[in-house]
Amino acid sequence: MNTENHSELASFIWSIADLLRGDMKQSQYGRVILPFTLLRRMECVLAPTKEAVLAAAEQHENKPETARDRLLRRASGQDFYNASKLTLSQLSDTQTGEDLLSYVHSFSEEAREIFEHFNFEDFVQLLEGSDLLYQVVQAFSAVDLSPQRISNYGMGAIFEELIRKFAESSNETAGEHFTPRDIVHLATSLVLTGEEDRLQPGRILTIYDPTAGTGGFLSEGEAYVNAISNDVQVSLSGQELNPESYAICVGDMLIKGQPVRNIRRGNTLSDDQLRGEHFDIMLSNPPFGVDWKKVREQVEKEHKQQGYNGRFGPGLPRVSDGSLLFLMHLVAKMRAREDGGSRIGIILNGSPLFTGGAGSGESEIRRYLLEHDLVEAIVALPSDAFFNTGINTYVWVLSNQKPDVRKGKVQLINATDRYAKMRKSLGSKRHYIPESEQDAIVRQYGRFEETDESKIFPTQAFGYRRITVERPLQLNFQASEERLARLQEEKFFGKLSEDEQNALLAACDTLGDTIYRNREDFLAALKNACTDAQFYPSAAQLKNIWKALGEHDDEADYCRDKKGRIEPNPDLRDNENVPLGESVYDYFEREVLPHVPDAWIDESKTDDKDGEVGIVGYEIPFNRHFYVFEPPRPLEEIDADLKQCTDRIKQMIEELSA
């Protein structure tokens, strides 16, 4: 069944929600449609062996639960079973709810728990109270979801379309639950390309997704491996927060005969339920730009107490975007190099590339990844490729077992133009990446060559040292009317008594219009005037006074501290980013001193890790490396367009006034 047919069948299934109109809120439709769709699919999968399971259930009725469970699974030919004699089409019209719950409770444990995550019993009661349950059951019993008609891949596409419709109807974010299959296939291909050693007969390949959603990455990873080699055993693991997505993922795994003990539910950042586990292949599409306020306490505690022994040692990103936390979580689950290492494919938005300056959590995370040579490639995807956003997105490919040719280097691939327009948009998704374009991107990655779309850089190229450039404090001082007004607006002035205020203003008035270009001379004159006016300012008050009455003056003497050192002017302070590996002093002499000869480097600002002058930062300015200058159009052409536009407006005005 092709994509169009998947979409048509999903629309048909969703149309069953018309039965609910008026009796249920639109935001509740998905909580009925999704579990019933899954229930019907599971029923269709078990149909060929149903009689064998019923016979085995009767034959082994008195055996211990564990043994009976094992025998019924064997009879079903699946990793789950249903021991009820009922089917959806056979449920009574007089006691539908009772029969349906009895039918669901007859599933094996893992399958039964799926419906608990949907709160299925509550919605069964709600439907029964509205006299809708029997109609809904009959409608679903007529939908053919058998594996002979719809493959597991096709069923995944249908589930995802239903979730998207559910998200739209309830104003949720569909993209938090699943990733478009073309993106999934591309990311999986990039991560598994060149991994023939891992796919040898008899090997066990572990695949993990910490934001599993409905299991798209896990399913695609398994399908990719099986397409190459049937002799590789694939073990899937994942964790998902959303209960409906988790239930669908577990259902999908059961239907395909995958063990579900390593598919867990919970928040990956605050409660890693596969703690201590490491994996060969990791794939993830964490939610874009979602904050981590809810788990802030747990994450910060792990960062402070465990440091590099935990997941978040290098640093923490700003709380408004947790994408890099998921990336560091994956890095922490990499196998050691001596154990074969690991590969990661993660989809991120643009902010992890460049957000945060030197010393920030984001920069320190990038620094850790690049200095440990973990980043292998970053691929820019087309815009409008996701269901819930049109923003720029990127696939990061990471490895701690790089081939020699890639060591110390990062490949950037610009695939923003490799797309086709969809015949019909799905949410925000207007573009998809055809298989031919996916193959071209993967080949470009595999060739590891410089082209217009592929750039290769040493990891150090993305690093810099941020130095602080100071310039001398040069002020003139005058008790002019304008500056005195500024003085009276100062906070300290308002705290003085009325007599003190009058005394200070009287002292300033004696200074007249004299302009002082030396701070010490001004302070001497000011102190004498204050003494005469019987106002005795403290050191802090004196500082506030000269700041209020001072203005920058390139002709003024340098202001110096008690040790004779030139004081910097904070208003003229600037930062320079020096490419990593270049002497900050050579750079400063070449790029700064010719323009501001009295500037100097603040050598107290050093990097925490290497102690050198300048704080190390890392950013990956992806777009800058692929920018192509387009010269503006000739003025004559622009003038012609403007004339054509004004002529058309004049014509329209004439027609209106005629």
Percent of the chain residues topping a pLDDT of 90: 69
Confidence check: pLDDT of 1 > 60: no
Percent of the chain residues topping a pLDDT of 70: 97
Read off the tokens for 416: 């923003």
Instruction: Give per-residue pLDDT as tens, 379-397.
Output: 999 998 887 777 889 999 9
The whole-number pLDDT of residue 314 equals 96
The whole-number pLDDT of residue 167 equals 67
pLDDT band at 210 (very low <50, low <70, confident <90, very high): very high
- Can you give the pTM of this predicted structure? 0.83
Q: In what order do the strands lie in the sheet with 263-265?
A: 263-265, 233-240, 204-209, 281-284, 343-349, 393-399, 375-380, 409-414, 454-458
Distances (CA, A) of 455 to 229, 396, 448, 557: 32, 15, 9, 51
Residue range 343-362: mean pLDDT, rounded: 94
CA dihedral 346, 184, 247, 41 (to 10 degrees): -170
Instruction: Give per-residue pLDDT as tens, 179-205.
Output: 788 899 999 999 998 888 888 888 899
Residue range 89-100: mean pLDDT, rounded: 92
Mean pLDDT across the chain: 91
Confidence check: pLDDT of 67 > 50: yes
Three-class DSSP category at 493: helix
Three-class DSSP category at 451: coil
Which helix H or strand E contains 236, and what residues bound it?
Answer: strand 233-240
Distances (CA, A) of 394 to 185, 187, 285: 14, 10, 10
The whole-number pLDDT of residue 170 equals 59
Highest mean pLDDT among 59-68, 284-293, 558-567: 558-567
The whole-number pLDDT of residue 315 equals 95
Q: Which residue has the higher pLDDT, 633 or 318?
A: 318
β-strands 475-477, 550-552 pairing: antiparallel
Instruction: Give per-residue pLDDT as tens, 568-610.
Output: 999 999 999 999 999 999 999 999 999 999 999 999 999 999 9
Closest CA to 354 of 304, 412, 301, 297: 412
Residue range 317-332: mean pLDDT, rounded: 95
The whole-number pLDDT of residue 174 equals 43
Highest mean pLDDT among 212-221, 527-536, 628-637: 527-536
pLDDT band at 656 (very low <50, low <70, confident <90, very high): confident
Residue range 502-510: mean pLDDT, rounded: 94
The whole-number pLDDT of residue 598 equals 94
Closest CA to 542 of 530, 553, 560: 530
- Please answer whether residues 459 and 370 qualify as being in contact, where contact means their C-beta atoms are separated by less than 8 angstroms: yes
Interatomic CA distance for residues 604 and 468, integer angstroms: 9
Interatomic CA distance for residues 190 and 198, integer angstroms: 15
Which of 242-251, 369-378, 464-473 bottoms out in mean pLDDT, i.e. has the lowest?
242-251
pLDDT band at 422 (very low <50, low <70, confident <90, very high): confident
- Residues 628, 631, 633, CA angle at the centre, nearest 5°? 140
Q: 91: which residues sit within 8 A by CB, 6+ positions away?
A: 99, 100, 103, 134, 137
The whole-number pLDDT of residue 168 equals 65
Read off the tokens for 386: 């996701």
